[in-house]
Chains A and B, each alone.
Chain A
Amino acid sequence: AQSVTQPDIHITVSEGASLELRCNYSYGATPYLFWYVQSPGQGLQLLLKYFSGDTLVQGIKGFEAEFKRSQSSFNLRKPSVHWSDAAEYFCAVAAGEYGNKLVFGAGTILRVKS
Chain B
Amino acid sequence: DVKVTQSSRYLVKRTGEKVFLECVQDMDHENMFWYRQDPGLGLRLIYFSYDVKMKEKGDIPEGYSVSREKKERFSLILESASTNQTSMYLCASSLSGIQGYFGPGTRLTVL
Residue contact B100 to A102, C-beta cutoff 8 Å: yes
Q: How many A-B residue pairs have CB under 8 A?
A: 60
Q: Of the 9-residue stretches A14-22, A41-49, A57-65, which lies at the interface with chain B?
A: A41-49
**What is the distance, in angstroms, from A76's C-beta to the closest C-beta of chain B?**
15
Task: Assess whether B50 is interfacial by the CB under 8 Å rule.
Answer: yes
Instruction: Give A36 to B40 CA distance when docked, in angstroms.
Output: 16
Check B42–A105 contact: CB distance below 8 A: yes
The residues of B that contact A90 with a CB separation of less than 8 Å are 42-43
B residues in contact (CB < 8 Å) with A: 4, 31, 33, 35, 40-45, 48, 50, 58, 90, 92, 94, 97-105
The answer on a CB contact under 8 Å between B98 and A43 is: no
Given contacts A9-B40, A90-B43, A106-B42, contact A99 B98 (CB under 8 A): yes
User: How far apart are the CA atoms of A6 and B48 in the complex, in Å?
Assistant: 24
**In the complex, residue of chain B having the shortest beta-carbon distance to the beta carbon of A43:** B102
A34 touches B48 (CB 8 A): no
Q: B104 — which chain A residues lie within 8 A by C-beta?
A: 41-43
A113 on interface, CB distance cutoff 8 Å: no
Indicate whether A30 reaches chain B with its CB closer than 8 angstroms. Answer: no
Residue in contact with A101 in the complex, picked from B45, B99, B102, B105, CB distance below 8 Å:
B45
7 contacting pairs across A/B (C-beta < 8 A): A41-B104, A44-B43, A44-B90, A44-B100, A90-B43, A100-B31, A107-B40
A91 — nearest CB in chain B belongs to which residue? B42
B42 near A43: Cβ-Cβ < 8 Å: no
- Judging by beta carbons under 8 Å apart, are A43 and B99 in contact? no
Q: Are B98 and A94 in contact (CB under 8 A)?
A: yes
